[in-house]
């Protein structure tokens, strides 16, 4: 809970919200941060983690584990505070997190669906060894607009790439 103030400060950013699903609120209040942290700290298994400097949380990365016939797959999601954009932080975090997720969980595939206009996230995924499997036309309705997304994935055999 000591990270709640920092999470709220960085998450309360329209530029971040524009590239995330609507379950991520905007404006992002302290109560939202506290509720999120309360939820993720009770997860079992733990699948959401802070991205942090020695001083504070600056973002988040996590998995949504699949079920049923998708039990060997998980969806990756992440965000980073705007002051830390463009420094290569997220590319490194996604690569390391993906490799670790394959070690910890019984997964064969980790995928992400960045919005097509989010070129920075596409570059992050590509640098981390994810491959574009397709463009999903008219798959997102965000901020009153219909837009495309991409499907990027990394399979266990390719996760060893740095």
pLDDT value of position 1:
86
Backbone phi and psi for residue 108, each to the nearest 5 degrees, phi listed first = -115, -15
pLDDT value of position 159:
66
Is there a domain that residue 41 lies in?
no
Question: Does residue 17 contact residue 26 with C-beta atoms inside 8 Å?
Answer: yes
Q: pLDDT tens per residue, the chain (162 residues)?
A: 899 999 999 999 999 999 999 999 999 999 999 999 999 999 999 999 999 999 999 999 999 999 999 999 999 999 999 999 999 999 999 999 999 999 999 999 999 999 999 999 999 999 999 999 999 999 999 999 999 999 999 999 876 554
> Which residues, other chains included, contact 112 with Cβ-Cβ below 8 Å and sequence gap of 6+?
75, 76, 77, 121, 125, 130, 152, 153
pLDDT value of position 96:
97
Task: Quote the domain boundaries for residue 103.
Answer: 47-158
Specify the CATH number for the domain of residue 145: 3.40.630.30
**20-55: per-residue pLDDT in tens?**
999 999 999 999 999 999 999 999 999 999 999 999
Q: What is the DSSP string of 91-127?
A: HHHHHHHHHHHHHHS--SEEEE--BTT-HHHHHHHHH
pLDDT value of position 162:
47
Is there a domain that residue 112 lies in?
yes
Which residue(s) pair with 4 in the sheet?
none
> Which residues, other chains included, contact 17 with Cβ-Cβ below 8 Å and sequence gap of 6+?
24, 25, 26, 28
Is there a domain that residue 77 lies in?
yes
| pTM exceeds 0.75 | yes
Is there a domain that residue 144 lies in?
yes
Tokens encoding 15:
């530029």
Is there a domain that residue 134 lies in?
yes
Is there a domain that residue 66 lies in?
yes
Is there a domain that residue 137 lies in?
yes
How many structural domains compose the chain?
Answer: 1
Cα dihedral across residues 89, 90, 93, 96: positive or negative: negative
């Amino acid at each position: 809970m000591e990270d709640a103030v920092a999470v709220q400060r960085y998450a309360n950013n329209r530029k971040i919200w524009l590239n995330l699903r609507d379950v991520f609120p905007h404006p992002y209040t302290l109560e939202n941060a506290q509720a999120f942290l309360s939820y993720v700290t009770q997860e079992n298994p733990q699948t959401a983690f802070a991205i942090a400097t020695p001083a504070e949380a600056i973002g988040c990365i996590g998995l949504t584990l699949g079920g049923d016939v998708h039990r060997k797959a998980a969806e990756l999601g992440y965000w980073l505070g705007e002051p830390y954009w463009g420094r290569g932080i997220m590319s490194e975090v996604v690569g390391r997190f993906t490799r670790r997720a394959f070690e910890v969980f019984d997964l064969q595939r980790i995928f992400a669906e960045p919005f097509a206009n989010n070129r920075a996230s596409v570059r992050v995924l590509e640098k981390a060894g994810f491959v574009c499997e397709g463009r999903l036309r008219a798959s997102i309705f965000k901020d009153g607009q219909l837009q495309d997304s991409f499907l990027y994935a990394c399979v266990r055999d390719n996760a060893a790439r740095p």
